[in-house]
Structure 1
Amino acid sequence: MNETAPLRARAEIDLAALRANVRVLRARAGGAHLMAVVKSDAYGHGAVPCAKAALEAGATWLGTATPHEALALRAAGLGGPLLCWLWTPGGPWREAIEAGIDVSVSGMWALREAVAAATAAGRPARIQLKADTGLGRNGCQPADWPELVAEALAAETAGLAKVTGLWSHFACADEPGHPSIAAQLGVFRDMVAYAEKAGAEPEVRHMANSPATLTLPEAHFDLVRTGIAMYGISPSPELGTSADFGLRPVMTLAASVALVKEVPAGHGVSYGHHYTTSAETTLGLIPVGYADGVPRHASGRGPVLVDGKVRTIAGRVAMDQFVVDLDGDRPETGADAVLFGPGDRGEPTAEDWAVASDTIAYEIVTRIGARVPRVYVNERDEPHETPTDND
């Protein structure tokens, strides 16, 4: 895509920032390998370009939620270790096995489907057993772990599977000092020890997500899984800002001002007239709305940088547009309206939008819709000093 072409809106993705973030996270991970999590189209940033950039920066694994996300990476020519963890009955198990994708198994039904697919494919399934250590979401409960481990190892003996990983996920790693953190670590160690005593020889044991990678070295094991931090967003303001961790936001969301006009005092703005001008003023029309991922819940609160000043959305966010009160200023039509970015130019950040929308920055970037073009900058990896996994 031509980066200079006029666009209604654009999400600029700085791949140099992403690569730098991966290197920072690798250094924080110590000797553990790093999985670049590119689920949900790389949190809205574009799965294939971000996966390639992460691998260039030293990530050794890729991770997705759905099997179709994983298969799309393989179709794009991305080889190497790849884990997919959100399976449902009847999923494309055989295709994943044939593509060399590690499949996560949390219960007996999934193990049986993986083994049946491996039989049909004529090659063993690479399976990773997921333990529910306290999150209460996916994963095998401790009481059911012995049966799952026994059946998985029996499939391994039969040449139908290889247990490549043992893993789990934290519930509250983004809440420093939460008692569940130590409790989950203890349960995970016990479940890993049981599986290994039974004969499992996993390639990787892993539990650390982004916050645990940044703050819990005791949870790093063989591999860390970094999602939101890779995109330069702090996993929790309580833990520190992006800058505190040496991370840089990767996405900048901007639109072109579509109209500037004068209106009198007392003029209603947008649906429901929840905003009325207090004096004669100028209004700016920004041509993005909730169909593009701008949260409607940010109506009257969302910050936008226009003409060097941070403005606030006036009235309701509509499907395709919203309005800002320009306080008499008259920027040119076509001028940039920057919703969020790294903050270098005084623009708001995704965290600012999260606060305005009563949500988290994860949702802000992930919800940006497909009709907003992704414009990739710094696609080439310039020469640099890359830390080794042992640094």
Structure 2
Amino acid sequence: MSGQLAEAVIDLSAIGDNVRTVAGVARTGLMAVVKADAFGHGAVPVARAAVRAGATWLGVTSSTEALALRTAGIRAPILSWLHRPDEDFTHLITARVDIAVSTLTHLHSVAGAATRLGTPATVQLKADIGLSRNGANGDDWPELVAWARKYEAEGSVRVRGVWSHLTNAEEPGSRSVTGQVSTFREALRIARDACLTPEVVHLANSAAALGVPEARYDLCRIGLALYGVDPFDPTGPGRFGLRPAMTLRTSVVNVKRVPAGSGVSYGPEHVTDRATTLALIPLGYADGLSRTTEDRASVWLGGRRCPIVGRIAMDQCVVDAGDLPVALGDEVVVFGPGAAGAGGGAPGAAAAEPTVGEWARWAGTNPHEVMTGIGARVARVHLHLER
């Protein structure tokens, strides 16, 4: 690990395989969502791998993220969707980044920047169809559409897309999803009746790309699936054959044999019930190991799963290795594809390292939070990197 205490190893070939897998199901263009540093995987290398595999768009949250991709020389179409209304949009316009617009205030600001620059801004209008976050709904949507058409006629704005986001695409066939798709169709009708002619219409996220055909339109936006996590079965391999791209690993930095009745970590809230071997690993909640996983989480050590015991500290935590012959420097896999121990493992033990979906379940959250929570001091190592 070259002096690093821990590393997140990113397999970029898995990113490419996941793009091709989803494309094979959805049969649409794909927008690879690389916001939040590509869910902690590294935005620039992941973006390059996704585009190389056939992704036609990239999606980000902010101007900073979009411009970082452009600075890295990435020329694929980019949509940036969350902005302050008083932001200086000239940088995005100059960089040929599509700007998502959800309010009249934002639209006026974008059009004003384009007028000052003398270059039309390319925008994508977002409708709120039930998520109650960003996007225009009710009477705001027809007004936003009308102003967008006015600015388009004047030459300050080009409306390239209309889009929205489902609330619960993980429940395909539910009345809620059906209703949201219907609401989106109506929003699209209103836009077209106002003489807007969007070239890209998109609604589907990863779950909808894989399970809601009526939501697919021209593009599907893939985030979780891009990183190899099945949105319908995040703790297992799932039925689509997605490949988890991130493996979080470290090594043992201290080993001690302790008798029964030994307290472990702060409190102590854990006391050993037998003589056992404790292995210290240099990862803690500052690195993304949530304290809510205490008494549930395990890691892969010595060919089997071993539980984390005691409180997880900021920089370290303790693993109960039982009677395993653990030594300083032994590799520990916190989570990975779930295949490390296939065909092996101790009798009665899980035959593979934990997955990010399992860590999410232990923490009472989703895989997105686990992956994006891996701290900056954990080195990112990219396999199959191409420039």
TM range (shorter): over 0.9
Q: 1:270 to 1:174 in 2, by over 3 A?
A: same
Please say if residues 14 and 245 of structure 2, whose CA atoms lie closer than 8 Å, have aligned partners that are also in contact.
Answer: yes
Q: 218, 222, 242: which one pairs with 1:247?
A: 242
Counterpart residue number, 2:190:
194
Name the structure 2 match of 1:12: 9
Distance in 2 (CA, whole Å) between partners of 1:7 and 1:344 is 24
| 1:303–1:352 Cα contact (<8 Å) kept | no
Query: Matched residue of 1:332: which SS?
Result: coil
- Farther off after superposition, 177-186 or 158-167: 177-186
Spell out, residue by residue over 1:244-293, the C-alpha distance to the aligned partner (whole angstroms, 9 max, x if none): 11101000001111111111211110111111011221100010001011
| Residue equivalent to 1:23 | 20
Contact 1:104 1:127 in 2 (8 A): yes
User: Shift of residue 6 of structure 1?
Assistant: 4.9
Is 1:377 aligned to residue 383 of structure 2?
A: yes
2:30 aligned with 1:34, yes or no? yes
Instruction: State the alpha-carbon separation in 2 of the partners of residues 241 and 324 from structure 1.
Output: 23
CA contact (8 A) 1:7 1:256 kept: no
1:365 aligned residue (328, 347, 371): 371
In structure 1, how many angstroms separate the alpha carbons of the residues matched to 2:76 and 2:283? 38
Report whether the alignment pairs 1:349 with 2:355: yes
Shift, 1:67, TM fit:
1.5
TM-score normalised by length of structure 1: 0.94
Compute the displacement of 1:82 (Å): 0.5
- The yes-or-no answer on 1:266 pairing with 2:261 is yes
1:66, 1:84 within 8 Å by CA — same for their partners in 2? yes
**Pick from 162, 165, 168: which aligns with 1:169?**
165
Cα drift, residue 380 of structure 1: 4.3
Give structure 1 regions of 4+ aligned residues with deviation exceeding 4 angstroms.
none
1-structure distance, mates of 2:76, 2:50:
13
1:94 aligned to 2:90? Answer: yes
What per-residue deviation string (whole Å, max 9, x for no partner) do you get for residues 194-237 of structure 1? Answer: 11111101110000000000001111101110001010001132
| C-alpha contact (below 8 Å) 1:287/1:322 kept by paired residues | yes
CA–CA separation in structure 2 for the residues paired with 1:199 and 1:301: 56
Q: CA deviation at 1:358?
A: 1.1
CA distance in 2: counterparts of 1:175 and 1:297, whole angstroms = 27
Question: What SS does structure 1 have at the residue aligned with 2:59?
Answer: strand
Kindly indicate whether the alpha-carbon contact (under 8 Å) linking 2:260 and 2:274 is maintained by their aligned counterparts in 1.
Answer: yes
Report the residue type matching 2:284 in the other structure: G
Q: What's the offset of the Cα at 1:355?
A: 1.4
SS, match of residue 113 in structure 1: helix
CA distance in structure 1 between the aligned counterparts of 2:29 and 2:244, rounded to whole angstroms? 22
Structure 2 residue identity aligned to 1:7? Q
Q: AA paired with 2:66?
A: A
Q: What's the counterpart of residue 216 of structure 1?
A: 212
- Residues 1:330 and 2:325 aligned together: yes
The residue number in structure 2 matching 1:136 is: 132
Deviation at 1:122, TM superposition (A): 1.4
Provide the TM-score with structure 2 as the length reference: 0.95
SS at match of 1:50: helix
1:354 partner letter: A
- Which amino acid letter does the alignment assign opposite residue 293 of structure 1? G
Matched residue of 1:248: which SS? Answer: coil
Distance 2:242 2:332 in 1: 24
Name stretches of at least 5 consecutive residues in structure 1 with no aligned partner: 382-391
Amino acid at match of 1:378: H
Cα shift at 1:190: 0.9
Q: What residue identity is the alignment partner of 1:360? A: N
Letter in 2 for 1:132: D
Are 1:79 and 2:84 counterparts? no
Secondary structure in 1 matching 2:100 = strand
Q: Which residue of 1 aligns with 2:290?
A: 295
Matched, 1:277 2:272: yes
Q: 1: distance between equivalents of 2:151 and 2:16?
A: 39
Unaligned runs of 5+ in 2: 341-351
Structure 2 contact 297–359 (Cα < 8 Å) conserved: yes
Q: Which deviations, in whole Å up to 9, do the C-alpha atoms of 1:319-342 show, x marking residues without a partner?
A: 000001111323121111101000
Match of 2:348 in 1: none
The code of the aligned residue for 2:361 comes to: V
Amino acid at match of 1:43: F
Paired residue secondary structure (2:197): coil
Contact map agreement 2:236 2:357 (CA 8 A) in 1: no
Structure 2 counterpart of 1:217, one-letter code = P
Tell me the SS of whatever aligns to 1:331: coil
1-structure distance, mates of 2:237, 2:48: 22
Q: Separation in 1 of the partners of 2:168 and 2:284? A: 32
Tell me the CA shift for residue 165 of structure 1.
0.3
Distance 1:13 1:194 in 2: 43
Q: Tell me the equivalent position of 2:227.
A: 231
Preserved contact between residue 131 and residue 142 of structure 1 (Cα < 8 Å): no
